[in-house]
Amino acid sequence: MSKSLLHIEGLIVFVTSVYFYAQVDVSWWLFFLLLLLPDLSMLGYIVNNRIGSYSYNVFHTYILPLLLIIFSVILEQNTMLALGLIWMAHIGMDRTFGYGLKYPSNFKDTHMQKI
């Protein structure tokens, strides 16, 4: 049951991020162009599993995009807000499909599998 909740949570984060992105006056081309950008963090796996899992996890937790969204609202920066929402949408999309935070043991070992 709890694994299903994480999938549903991811879907809600994704849909909510897309909804709020639609409210910002920014191009949808930017959304589609940058949606998979956080996956470049997988390049850390070229070095080793420990570096790869760390870099992947930094870019796949809600903390940084949420801080970006908060600061963008405070500073009234629509482009920054759009970037934060795209980032959140990416993470939500990943969780919806079952991709989770990585353990250093192996790329395929994620927190979603442990639940």
**How long a stretch of residues is the chain?**
115
* Cβ count near 31 (within 10 Å): 19
pLDDT single digits (tens) 37-50: 999 999 999 999 99
Alpha-carbon torsion angle 90, 61, 6, 96, nearest 10: 10
Dihedral sign for Cα 101, 105, 106, 108, please. Answer: negative
Task: Please state, as a whole number, how many other Cβ atoms lie within 10 Å of the Cβ of residue 106.
Answer: 11
pLDDT at site 1: 58
Q: What are phi and psi of 65, to 5 degrees?
A: -65, -30
Q: Specify the amino acid at residue 6.
A: L
In tens, the pLDDT along 24-76 reads 999 999 999 999 999 999 999 999 999 999 999 999 999 999 999 999 999 99
